[in-house]
Amino acid sequence: MAAHQLLSKGIPALCNLLFLANDQYPPFEKWLVNYSHSLEWKPDGWVARLEELTQVKEVTFVELKKRKAVFKGLYHEIWGRIMGEEHRETGLLELNALEAVKYVIENQPSVEEFADKYDSKHLGYEVLFKLSDIIVVDGVEVIRFNKKRFLDEQEKGFPGFLEWNREMLGHVRLSRS
């Protein structure tokens, strides 16, 4: 029952995201669903899918999985509209991490330069921790992305990474040469 309730509490956030995708200010929460019907762009079958999402027919795990699938489908379509289809399944935190990874790949910054641009905690996150090395060059700690390690992991499908990080790493393009 609690999981169903939490899923239902996500519906206003989903509607807010739809307003964002339409470059519109959202109305007060009590009007979000109603006014969402009048937006210019909506995912196909928005009304029917939203109705399916809002109704809890049975308080079962099977019903929860069905509602979750509808929610995720709508979320990914709307997010893809906002961020681009190639990032439809990449969350905001992963997009931020992807930006940090690309920065390291392209710039090989010192730890200090990295900390000035990003929170130094990013270095402890799974992707940079597993795929980068901190080496000393001319007395300065430099972050080097380990291309060979990345390509070896990529070939295996990144089995040692969390699902959302595997998806995010799919956006990193490096050649074998």
Q: Residue 119: pLDDT band by 50, 70, 90 thresholds? A: confident
Higher pLDDT, 175 or 172: 172
Q: To which residue do tokens 């995708």 refer?
A: 21
Domains of the chain, first to last: 2-87 (no CATH), 92-169 (1.10.10)
Q: Residue 74: pLDDT band by 50, 70, 90 thresholds? A: very high
Q: What does the mean pLDDT of the chain come to?
A: 92
Cα distance between residue 174 and residue 177, in whole Å: 9
pLDDT tens readout for residues 88-110: 988 888 888 899 999 999 999 99
Cα distance between residue 147 and residue 133, in whole Å: 11
pLDDT tens readout for residues 137-172: 999 999 999 999 999 999 999 999 998 899 899 999
pLDDT at 93: 83
Q: Which phi-psi region, left, alpha or beta, contains residue 84 (left: φ > 0; alpha: ψ -120 to 50)?
A: left
pLDDT value at 176 more than 80: no
pLDDT at 91: 84
pLDDT tens readout for residues 26-39: 999 999 999 999 99
**Angle 112-113-118 (CA atoms, 0-180°, nearest 5)?**
95
